[in-house]
Amino acid sequence: MAESTPGPASHPVDASHGAAPPAPETLDVLRAAENGTAFDRHHPPSAELVSDCVHCGFCLTTCPTYVLWGEEMDSPRGRIHLIGQGLTGEPLSDSMVGHFDNCLGCMACVTACPSGVRYDRLIEDTRAQVERRHRRGARDRALRAAIFALFPYPSRLRLLRGPLRAYRAMGLKRLAERSGILRRLSPTLATLDALAPRLRSVPRPPARVRARGERRAVVGMLTGCVQSAFFPDVNAATVRILAAEGCEVLIPPSQGCCGALSVHNGRRKEAQRFARELIDTFERTGMDFFVVNAAGCGSSLKEYGDLLADDPAWAGKAAAFAAKVRDLSELLVELGPVARRHPLPMSVAYHDACHLGHAQGVRAQPRALLRGIPELEVRPIAEAEICCGSAGVWNVLNPEPAAELGDRKARAVLATGAELLVTANPGCLMQVAAAVRRRDATIALAHTAHVLDASLRNLGPDALLSRTV
């Protein structure tokens, strides 16, 4: 649901009579609405960044929506052209918003661009304008309201575990899949049903876990929203790895959402609130690093300094916090290994989560960790730069094209012949698992932390190959 849009302009009121004048942001929105332009003056997309694009087309083959549809306005350079039109006076039309909404935010174009265009900044600022200023249809507003009332709240997500277990145990999931009733009723419901992972019962981690052996670092850890509710075993494996590598791990149970889903969907004020709360939870812990095992969360956490740059009370704290953020693979490579790796004689295909590979530029580190495990063979995936279609909640908002992208990724993964697919994001795991099931195929899936944990604990390949979809 969009943040509330200010109402009609009123006459200025003297502050001495008890009412404050409208805030500059409110006045900017009102002026933009009055003159019909797409963007107001509160953090509009940068005209300078728009001008950096020379429309060379290198981005086209890496953009998921252009690959699907071949539509210029659904390519990065096409959307940049639309942003430029908005900056020169065009209104924020439904058509323009539709092309912005179609973007997955995978940032493959940022990696591909030879001119260094900051498309990530452009689309993020544009989405904040859209969310604040564009009136969506009733169905879209209701769906977005439901998503953002649920997904950023771990405690609410955990409440779904019981009903989901009952749904599976009673055979209702199999019935729904065979009959196709959910697909006929609502593609969104069918997508949510397909994405629901197999639930595993894992005790919640303690607030503090001591390092094994000599302590090398004190590490705060994000437990996440979807990660903590549906992939608690990833968090448990992460804690064991960090402790084995000499890290004392701090996991305050009061932590909440990092704001990634909100900021990626233009809900900037909501994201700022989540960011302040998370910083406040961890800033007095004395941590050396803040570790993240979900790619989308990590990319947003590293940009806290930008997110809160306009807030004098929080800008410095946010920048200091962001400087400590590390993906799990980054930190482990930075510290260097001390725990013994045991052999895992098996083949794996490593999938780059977009917000790890493209947004954070973290590609070599997870591969280095995997190749450091004796007897483990790492196989490349064709079209590695193309998103799997998860993209936060994009697959829920756009179920049909997301399924096409998921099927494309599943074909590429299965073509490797690997026994195990490895990635570093819960959304990717759910998306690819659903696509593999649609093909009546089988492959084991695991987070990077699962693989390293199995090696450190000498569990052997069977512990990972049992994680089939």
Residue 409 in any domain: the answer is yes
Distance CA 402, CA 393 (A): 10
Average pLDDT over residues 48-77: 96
Closest alpha carbon to 33 in 135, 167, 180: 135
> What span, in angstroms and rounded, lies between the C-alpha atoms of 297 and 222?
9
Q: What is the pLDDT of residues 302-352, one digit of tens each?
A: 999 999 999 999 999 999 999 999 999 999 999 999 999 999 999 999 999
**Rounded distance between C-alpha atoms, residue 155 and residue 149, angstroms:** 11
Is the pLDDT at 300 greater than 90, yes or no? yes
Higher local confidence (pLDDT), 158 or 77: 77
H helix or E strand, kind and range, residue 104: none
Shortest CA distance to 200 belongs to which of 442, 429, 440?
A: 429
> Does any domain span residue 67?
yes
212 and 326 both lie in a single domain: yes
Quote the pLDDT of residue 469. 63
pLDDT beyond 50 at 79: yes
Helix, strand, coil percent content, the chain, rounded in steps of 5: 55, 10, 40
Beta strands in 113-188 (DSSP E): none
Confidence grade of residue 467 (pLDDT, cut at 50, 70, 90) = confident
256 DSSP 8-state letter:
-
DSSP string, 318-358: HHHHHHTEEEHHHHHHHH---SPPPP--EEEEE---HHHHT
240/302 same-domain check: yes
Reported confidence tier of residue 195, pLDDT bands at 50, 70, 90: confident
* Shared domain check, 225 and 160: no
pTM: 0.87
Question: Of 104, 133, 162, which residue constitutes the final position of a domain?
Answer: 133
- Cα end-to-end distance, the chain, whole Å: 33
CA distances from 164 to 159, 172, 187, 224, 381 (A): 9, 10, 19, 20, 32
394 vs 374: CA distance, rounded Å: 37
pLDDT per residue over 2-30, tens digit each?
A: 443 333 333 333 333 344 444 444 444 44
Q: How confident is the model at residue 35 (pLDDT cuts 50, 70, 90)?
A: low
Statement to judge: residues 243 and 347 lie in one domain: no
Q: Residue 434 belongs to what domain range?
A: 342-465
Specify the number of domains making up the chain.
4
Same-domain check for residues 265 and 172: no
| Residues 70 and 117 grouped into a single domain | yes
CATH number for the domain that contains residue 360: 3.40.50
Which carries the bigger pLDDT value, residue 212 or residue 194?
Answer: 212
Same domain, 129 and 142: no
CATH of the domain at 215: 3.40.50.1860
pLDDT, greater one: 198 or 118: 118
pLDDT at 58: 95
Q: Domain boundary at 306, 333, 360, which? A: 333
The answer to whether 119 and 113 have CB atoms below 8 angstroms apart is yes
In this structure, of 18-32, 219-233, 385-399, the range with the lowest mean pLDDT score is: 18-32
